[in-house]
Amino acid sequence: QLLILMEAGMTTRQAWHRIAYQYSEKRKKALIEDSEVYAAIVQMDRKLADGENERSAYESVVTQMDSMCYRRLMRLLINNLQKGNKDICQQLGIEAKQAYEQRILLAKKLGEEASTKMLIPMMLMMLVVMAIIMAPAMMGFAV
């Protein structure tokens, strides 16, 4: 969302404000649940509105986040504050692609773990079905 807003011509500060405002409005209407990430963004937007400089606001978000993706995003924004915003959209696009690929890999890993956990119950069900089928057959041999 940040990338889209910045490519549309907004500054980084305006884009963060817009994201925080949209989240706050959806939160008031109870359309979405609480999110640690958005809560940090809203807090950062308040700090920026109170006059704190962008670098310290971004650094405060870095300390709050557990996710490496968001830490990299904030480090990228801090570096671009120092260097200038020449290639920020390109770098954000690359970061977005990497984050998407990581989400895909995580989903695959969780799917594999879930299928492994389901293996034992499936085996037990197969044994029960085999017992149901084999019991009458064995009884038939005994007669």
- pLDDT, one tens digit per residue, over 71-101 is 888 888 888 877 776 778 888 888 889 888 9
Ranges of residues in the chain with a pLDDT under 50 are none
pTM for the model stands at: 0.62
- Cα 118 from chain centroid? 26
